[in-house]
Chains A and B, each alone.
Chain A
Amino acid sequence: MKAVFKQTQGMLPVSTSYCPGCTHGVAHRIIMETLDEMGLLGKAIGVAPIGCSVVAHQFMNVDMCESAHGRAPAVATAIRRVHPDRIVYTYQGDGDLASIGMAEIVHAAARGEKFSTFFINNGIYGMTGGQMAPTTLIGQRATTCVDGRTREQAGMPLKICELLATLDGPAYIERVALNSPAHIRKAKKAVRRAFEIQQEGKGFTFVELLSTCPTNWGLTPPKAMEWLEENMIPYYPLGVFREPEVK
């Protein structure tokens, strides 16, 4: 029997701490599969954030470093500058990157630091109990906006890809979703592209992965996938926002 789908060596053989149906597991797997396929598992250094994925280093089979809340881009900047031959990436959620870590990500992108950032956007704070995040949609319920987010009180949700695309620093920016097998395959291609551009030393690469949080959204995992398709993708359009210039 030949294997047509084998689990990657990039994921440690342990059960993750995520809730059933959480797409963090899918995001972990496609990043690790890509590093595995590119033969970079021994060369990559990851930076874990604060949030549900604070324990990502227990699941990803690469060297990893923990960072203070939102400061993963600052830590990754240092690692990449000291070890220019390594592949460095940060893995951050929306509470970490779009809220407390907004300054770090904007400045790292503006400087064009040569690492990759994987931004998991599920529109809510997962670990702390489902509070409103900067990316929570208008009308979406959270424990700190029980009747749904309103524009008057909280403003519009932040579109990080569009925001970073106004800067000169980033080499590659793409938004993908993790809500169906087809979208997950496209997401994996985006992850690969980000690592390839980093290997070529062309600059900062950023991939936003629209994700689900079935527990805090109050939906079953399959329903959460549908909710993402119907509500998040219209507001957060998928696509490439920046490509390196062909010279």
Chain B
Amino acid sequence: MARKFKVVFDRERCKGCELCKSFCPKKIIEMDTQVNAKGYCPAMITEQEKCIGCQSCATVCPDCAIEIFEEEE
């Protein structure tokens, strides 16, 4: 069975720099149109099931805003 991952963004820590979006190999990260308390458009994941758990987004995130979990069978 394919492994399933869940990417969790901290909306309030995100500054909308789009680095995660640009390095996502599956291109499933988009910027929200709603702003957070600081006025940035935070990142969010569009198609969770397509995530391969490569951790590129969390590795390049300068704001410690991304955590990745794997669903256990």
Interface of A with B (CB < 8 Å)? 1-8, 11, 15-16, 18-26, 29, 180-181, 184-185, 214, 220-222, 225
Contacts and interface: CB of A to CB of B under 8 A. Distances in A.
B40 A20 contact: yes
B54 to A, nearest CB: 8
Contacts, number: 83
Interface string B46-73: 0000000111101111111011111110
A7 B64 contact: yes
Please give me the 10 A-B residue pairs with the lowest Cβ-Cβ distance, nearest first.
A25-B62, A21-B17, A20-B15, A222-B22, A20-B17, A5-B68, A181-B56, A1-B69, A221-B17, A181-B59
Contacts of B40: 20
23 contacts: A1-B6, A1-B69, A1-B72, A2-B69, A3-B70, A4-B55, A5-B59, A15-B12, A15-B15, A18-B62, A20-B17, A21-B17, A21-B19, A23-B62, A25-B61, A25-B63, A29-B62, A181-B54, A181-B55, A214-B17, A220-B18, A221-B18, A221-B22
A7 B60 contact: no
B70 A4 contact: yes
Given A4-B55, A5-B55, A18-B62, 14 more contacts: A1-B71, A2-B70, A5-B68, A16-B63, A20-B17, A23-B62, A25-B62, A25-B63, A29-B64, A181-B60, A220-B18, A221-B22, A222-B19, A225-B19
A22 B69 CA distance: 25
Contacts of B38: 15
Contacts of A2: 69-70, 72
Contacts of A7: 64, 67
Contact of B62 (A5, A26, A185, A222): A26
Sorting the interface of chain B by its residue count into under 10, 10 to 19, 20 to 34 or 35 or more gives 20 to 34
A22 B62 CA distance: 7
B69 A24 contact: no
Interface string B19-37: 1011100000000000000
Contact of A5 (B12, B13, B17, B66): B66
A180 B18 CA distance: 13
Given A15-B38, A181-B55, A24 B62 contact: yes
B62 A21 contact: yes
Contacts of B56: 181
A181 B23 CA distance: 8
A214 B59 CA distance: 18
A15 B67 contact: no
Contacts of B21: 222
Nearest to A222: B22
Contacts of B58: 5
